[in-house]
Amino acid sequence: MNLFNKHVRRVIRFGSYFGLGFVLLGCFPTITKVFHTPSVAGRVLDVNTMQPAINASVFFSEHPDYKTTTNREGEFSLAALSSTEAVIKMPAHALKQYPLTVQSNDIQDHFFVASSLRMYRIEERNLDSLFIDSQPNIPPTNHRVFLLSDHDINSSFNSPSEFGGCSIALLKNAKRSLYVARKLFNQLHNQSTTLTQTNNSQTLALWLQNAYQHAILNWQMIAQDCPRTTENFLQRDAMIDSIEKESREALSYFNKALL
């Protein structure tokens, strides 16, 4: 029995040293390259003309001085921003939506790129086609699939109980992104015959889906970043539900129109 107990104590002691070693190794900082943004590439089009946006600036909103510009085809490539740091690597993984800004003249449109919160290797993201609005003061032509009217949106923005305390910039971004998605829907609906000559129907449907997804993310930022109460949280959530439903109906309508 004494021999058995002695053996058990040795095993426990060894396990303790072994576990402590892992803890100590995990707590020592290591010098490594950290990536603050993913690498992104894509193409920027003007939703009003469906033509490439030339010489538009593309940058991550948190790093406005690190940017690139679109070429004559509207294409861009922005390398990942990195630095060498002393970090403690922990076994965890989380995603973050990195806000990306496209600026053409004095007009900015905002998008989101999903990547890891902490990156120790390059993560590449291809955004395909991003649509910006060179005529933001002209609202989209109304269509029956659009569930929220301009009056509904503007009334919500002006309601202290619903969006009181929200950043004006966030509200404008959300409205602009929804209008871009709606203008794209109108363009695809009105020019489907012409556009399908140079793009397949799956590509056009993906354009529309992505545009609405960016709009939904912009509206979700309002729900997260603005002051919240039980009442306004439910109201904002109802608006996001309406936009998600609109996106499904718009995509369904477009796909049926192509049949």
Q: Answer yes or no: do 212 and 245 share one domain.
A: yes
Specify the number of domains making up the chain: 3
Which of 11-20, 46-55, 59-68 is least confident?
11-20
Q: What pLDDT does 193 receive?
A: 75
User: 95 is in which domain, residue-wise?
Assistant: 32-132
Domain-terminating residue out of 67, 99, 132: 132
pLDDT exceeds 80 at position 29: no
Q: Answer yes or no: do 167 and 216 share one domain.
A: yes
Q: Answer yes or no: do 57 and 95 share one domain.
A: yes
CA atoms within 13 A on the CB side of 87: 13
| CATH assignment at residue 128 | 2.60.40.1120
Handedness of CA 13, 15, 21, 23 (dihedral sign): negative
Binned at pLDDT 50, 70 and 90, residue 22 comes out as very low
Angle between helices 230-258 and 168-190 (to 10 degrees): 20
Integer Cα distance of 238 and 166 in angstroms = 17
Q: Is residue 39 part of a domain?
A: yes
Q: What pLDDT does 101 receive?
A: 96
Q: Answer yes or no: do 168 and 237 share one domain.
A: yes
Q: Answer yes or no: do 8 and 104 share one domain.
A: no
Tell me the average pLDDT across 75-91. 84
Burial of 205 (C-beta count, 10 Å sphere; 0-12/13-18/19+): middle
Which of 8-12, 70-74, 164-168, 255-259 is least confident?
8-12
Q: Answer yes or no: do 22 and 54 share one domain.
A: no
Helix ranges (H only) for the chain are 2-27, 150-157, 160-163, 168-190, 192-195, 201-225, 230-258
Tokens of 257: 């129109």
Tell me the pairing of strands 39-46 and 51-52.
Answer: antiparallel
DSSP 8-state symbol, 84: E
Q: Answer yes or no: do 210 and 116 share one domain.
A: no
Q: Shortest CA distance to 246 belongs to which of 197, 190, 184, 193?
A: 184
Q: Answer yes or no: do 21 and 52 share one domain.
A: no
Q: Answer yes or no: do 89 and 12 share one domain.
A: no
Q: What pLDDT does 86 receive?
A: 74
Q: Is residue 140 part of a domain?
A: no
